[in-house]
Structure 1
Amino acid sequence: MTNVLVTGGAGFVGSHIVDELVASGYDVTVVDNLTEQVHDDEPDYLNDEAEYVWGDVRDRELMTELLEEADVLNHQASAVGVGQSMYEIEKYVEVNTLATARILDIIVNEDISLEKIVVASSMSIYGEGAYHCPEEDTLHYPSLRGSETMAEGQWEHVCPDCGTELEPIATSEKKPRESTSVYAISKKDQEELTLSVARSYDIPAVALRYFNIYGSRQALGNPYTGVCAIFSSRIKNDNPPLIFEDGEQTRDFIHISDIARANRLAMERDEAEDVALNLGTGNPKTITEIAETLIDLYGKSDELEPEIANDFRQGDIRHCYADTSRAAELLDFKPSVTFEEGMRELVEWGREQDAQDNFEEAHAELEDKGLVGDN
């Protein structure tokens, strides 16, 4: 039986991957350090049929022992949080970049034989998404918006040639990468280190560029996690979701069960080797839509409405959603969970969870570090 080592396998994404692999007949070993920001204790959703090792992926001796027993490495362990990464720089580089480098160093120098490596990457490595000028019929990959522009409430990108407002289009894997945060840079490091080393040593490998993942098991008390979890904790505590800019910025939200299935397919399909693939739906949603949907599903439409801040966070992008054609071709993967179904699943699970609202504290940290601008 194939033994799959899943790093970070007790977390939100990793635990769903573990369930998917166990259900498909794989022998699964998990290594996770149960980081305090995400876990208060061992979560109650852990799969009884997987083996769990509580330890750190930065521990060379431990990782050597685990890799010697593995046939496949599924590397999900990562420090997550764009804003936090901008002032906890050393931590993010150590946990993401250095730990990945150490794992690869072990594989190379301890003569570890692996059938495949699957590594979690991120849409954040793109920076802004792709855009089209309707007037000039030209493709554009704009850089970050300037603070002065956003302070004036100019949220959208405009064509540098004619000044027409640009239209966001699906972002393909061919788009030049312009990582705009320490987190994004560290995720790009994880992807590029893995693919480069695997290519050199003839190890099949694939990087999966996750877009915005949501679903059950998100850490609702972690104010640095995804927007669906942050909004859920606000709503459950009868606080309005705070939305930066004007709320019309868009992201691509994909349900966790589809991410788990795509990881299994990436492991199994020979077509997916030495390649990076987008994992999204191709259907962008505005941040305001997310907030309003969650308020409605939690039954609080008469009490709450989103609070549009009209201020902005340094480094935030305006629009980015996935061109999913490459994953469809190489993995035969198409998302199966609709936005409506996925949001209902998240809220049904969220109703049963304790959710401390730590958003104000996290927001204050960003302001203190000069990472929030006023409009």
Structure 2
Amino acid sequence: MSLQILVTGGAGYLGSIMVPDLLSLGHKVTVIDNFMYEQNSLAHVCANEHFDIIRGDIRDESLMKQKLSKADVVIPLAALVGAPICKKDPVGATTINHDAVLMMLKHVGRQQMILMPTTNSAYGSGDKNNFCTEESPLNPVSKYAKDKVEIEKALMEHPNAISFRLATVFGMSPRMRLDLLVNDFTYRAVNDRFVVLFESSFKRNYIHVRDVSRAFQHGIKNFETMKGQIYNVGLSEANVSKRELCETINKYVPDFVFLDAPVGKDPDQRNYIVSNEKIERTGYKPAHSLDSGIKELIKGYSMIRNTRYGNV
């Protein structure tokens, strides 16, 4: 069945993978994006008659009301993503990540479907066992995580919503981000041949950007059985520490050197093992391993020679 899907921030890191995937399934997709990174990452789908794109701001209430009224499915990706950019622009973070999403939820009808990415960084340092399920208490540290927790609470009051708590995403995308941990460490390995680690024993979970798209497709396909729920979305075999991540990269970049030094602190204090069992019970399983993603990034970095692909 073809659906009318509205994707905000659809020209971003996630959307640039997800939007072509949704179009390939026969859906009609409208994207709203402000193109703050001057990207043209959806140029290759402009010929698709089922694709529409608006240069606009999700804080524009009249624009959002107009476009929301025509949607069967809403996927709100637009955000200032990550603790560093939210710290750099707290006003923008509040108005985009918090206020605009609350405004959007006010105008989404009860029959419309919403599938939204939130974050597992809200687990903070985890519980005493550092093992987190969807039922674990949240302990957001950064402004980014705190705003996402508030938005998720409001989202789950809507009768037709799914929240995907995403692990740290990695992999190549037409709107690339180098500031994500796997992407960052692999870039440093390829170009600098070394990285200095802080809190190297801290564990977190990871997920390939294409598997994020697959999770949203899975949610749309199985919406009636999944709605009203929160799901962790990550690679169950990729609950690894920063040092273990570097050791994995080292297999493919043999002269990569990584050293420990007490020189920094994770703004979200992420140190946990995340269970993805709940979404796996619905039939979803990631298709891209950490190793395959690292090999993909190494190839991609032969094309990328600067740092304009970050969020900060």
Same fold (TM over 0.5): yes
Which residue does the alignment assign to 2:70? 69
Q: Deviations over 1:131-161 (max 9, x none)?
A: 43xxxxxxxxxxxxxxxxxxxxxxxxxxxxx
1:96 corresponds to which letter in structure 2?
Answer: N
Q: What is the aligned counterpart of 1:291 among 227, 246, 261?
A: 246
Instruction: Say if 2:209 is the partner of 1:256.
Output: yes
Give the 3 Å change call, closer, same or farther, for CA 210–59 of structure 1 in structure 2: same
Native 8 Å contact 1:241 1:305 kept in 2? yes
- How far off its partner does 1:236 sit? 4.4
CA distance in 2, matches of 1:83, 1:41: 21
Secondary structure in 1 matching 2:147: helix
Secondary structure in 2 matching 1:281: coil
Native 8 Å contact 1:82 1:181 kept in 2? yes
Secondary structure in 1 matching 2:137: coil
Indicate the RMSD between aligned Cα atoms, in angstroms.
2.4
Secondary structure in 2 matching 1:63: helix
1:309 corresponds to which letter in structure 2?
Answer: A
Give the 3 Å change call, closer, same or farther, for CA 207–68 of structure 1 in structure 2: same
Taking structure 2 as the reference length, what is the TM-score of the superposition?
A: 0.88
- How far off its partner does 1:295 sit? 5.2
- How far off its partner does 1:122 sit? 0.4
- How far off its partner does 1:218 sit? 7.4
- How far off its partner does 1:221 sit? 6.4
CA distance in 2, matches of 1:206, 1:221: 25
Instruction: Say if 2:240 is the partner of 1:279.
Output: no
Which residue does the alignment assign to 2:288? 337
Work out the percentage of aligned pairs sharing the same amino acid. 24
Native 8 Å contact 2:187 2:298 kept in 1? no
Give the 3 Å change call, closer, same or farther, for CA 221–345 of structure 1 in structure 2: closer
Native 8 Å contact 1:236 1:355 kept in 2? no
Secondary structure in 2 matching 1:327: helix
Which residue does the alignment assign to 2:134? 173
CA distance in 1, matches of 2:177, 2:229: 35
CA distance in 2, matches of 1:8, 1:55: 10
Larger Rg: 1
Q: What is the aligned counterpart of 1:127 among 124, 128, 134?
A: 124
Moved more, 176-185 or 313-322: 313-322
Which residue does the alignment assign to 1:205? 161
Q: What is the aligned counterpart of 2:151 among 190, 194, 215?
A: 190
Secondary structure in 2 matching 1:251: strand
Moved over 6 A (4+): none
Q: What is the aligned counterpart of 1:325 among 277, 286, 291?
A: 277
Q: Deviations over 1:293-342 (max 9, x none)?
A: 44553x4x33x41232223326442522321121122x311112222112
Native 8 Å contact 1:85 1:92 kept in 2? yes
Taking structure 1 as the reference length, what is the TM-score of the superposition?
A: 0.74
CA distance in 2, matches of 1:271, 1:326: 12
- How far off its partner does 1:244 sit? 1.2
CA distance in 1, matches of 2:169, 2:7: 18
Which residue does the alignment assign to 1:159? none
Give the 3 Å change call, closer, same or farther, for CA 345–184 of structure 1 in structure 2: same
CA distance in 2, matches of 1:356, 1:342: 19
Which residue does the alignment assign to 2:26? 25
Native 8 Å contact 2:140 2:268 kept in 1? no
Give the 3 Å change call, closer, same or farther, for CA 46–211 of structure 1 in structure 2: farther
Q: How many residues align?
A: 305
Instruction: Say if 2:170 is the partner of 1:214.
Output: yes
Secondary structure in 2 matching 1:306: strand
Native 8 Å contact 1:71 1:113 kept in 2? no
Give the 3 Å change call, closer, same or farther, for CA 19–44 of structure 1 in structure 2: closer
Give the 3 Å change call, closer, same or farther, for CA 262–212 of structure 1 in structure 2: same
CA distance in 1, matches of 2:170, 2:292: 12
Q: Deviations over 1:172-219 (max 9, x none)?
A: 0000111111000111122122222x13xxxx1100000111011276
